[in-house]
Amino acid sequence: MINLYDNLDYMSEHRNIIRIGPTGAGKTGLATAFLIQAINSGYKGRFILFPELIQMLYRSIADHSEEKVIKTFAAYDCLLIDELGYVEVEALQVGLFFTLMQKRHKKKTTLLTSDLGFEQWNSFFKNEHLTAALIDRLTENSHVINMKKCVSLRPRLEPVIA
C-alpha cells in the first residue's frame, strides 16, 4: 500500500480505491490521507459522506439541477465518498448515484469506504441489477482493500461503576 500511496498511480491511472472493513479500522483516515496527497500534488479533490451526497443528488431533482450537481462531482480528480451503506436509498437516488459513478468510470479516481462487503450492497441500493453493474464498474479499475480482519483503533473505555 505504501507504493500505491507514494507513486500516485491511483491518480495517473484513474484507479479507484475501495476500502471495506469494520468500524474503527482506519478506512476513513487512510482514504483521507490519499485524498490529501492527491490535493497536495495539484489534483482537485473533495471529501463527502455518502448520506450527504445522496441527499444532495435527491434535492437536485426538486430544482432540476441534477445535471449540474452530477457534473460538479464528476469533475473532481479525486472524490472520496465515505461511509457507503449507512443509509438506504430510493430508486431515483440509486439511479443518480449510478450516473455519477458511470461518468467518473476510468476518467477520475474515486475513493470509497464501506463497512459492508459487496455482497451486502444490494441491501441499501435495493436494485440487484443496478448494484451488480455499479460494483462491476467500480471494481474494474480498482484496488480493493479488505480490512475486515482489522481491529478497531478506537480505545474501549471500561465502564465506571460508582
Which CATH number covers residue 80? Answer: 3.40.50.300
How sure is the predictor about 149, in pLDDT bands with cuts at 50, 70 and 90? confident
Give the list of residues 6+ apart from residue 74 with CB closer than 8 angstroms, or none: 100, 103, 104, 107, 108
Is the pLDDT at 154 greater than 70? The verdict is no
More confident residue, 88 or 69: 69
Residue 111 in any domain: the answer is: yes
Average pLDDT, the chain: 93
Query: Would you state the pLDDT for residue 156?
Result: 66
Q: What's the average model confidence in pLDDT over 18-31?
A: 94
Domain limits for position 20:
2-116+142-146
User: Residue 152 domain-assigned?
Assistant: no
- Give the model's pLDDT for residue 88: 85
Is residue 157 one of the residues assigned to a domain? no
Question: What's the structural domain count of the chain?
Answer: 1
Amino acid 41: pLDDT? 97
Which residue in 82, 69, 77 sits closest to 19, CA to CA?
82
pLDDT of residue 160: 65
What was the pLDDT predicted at 86?
A: 83
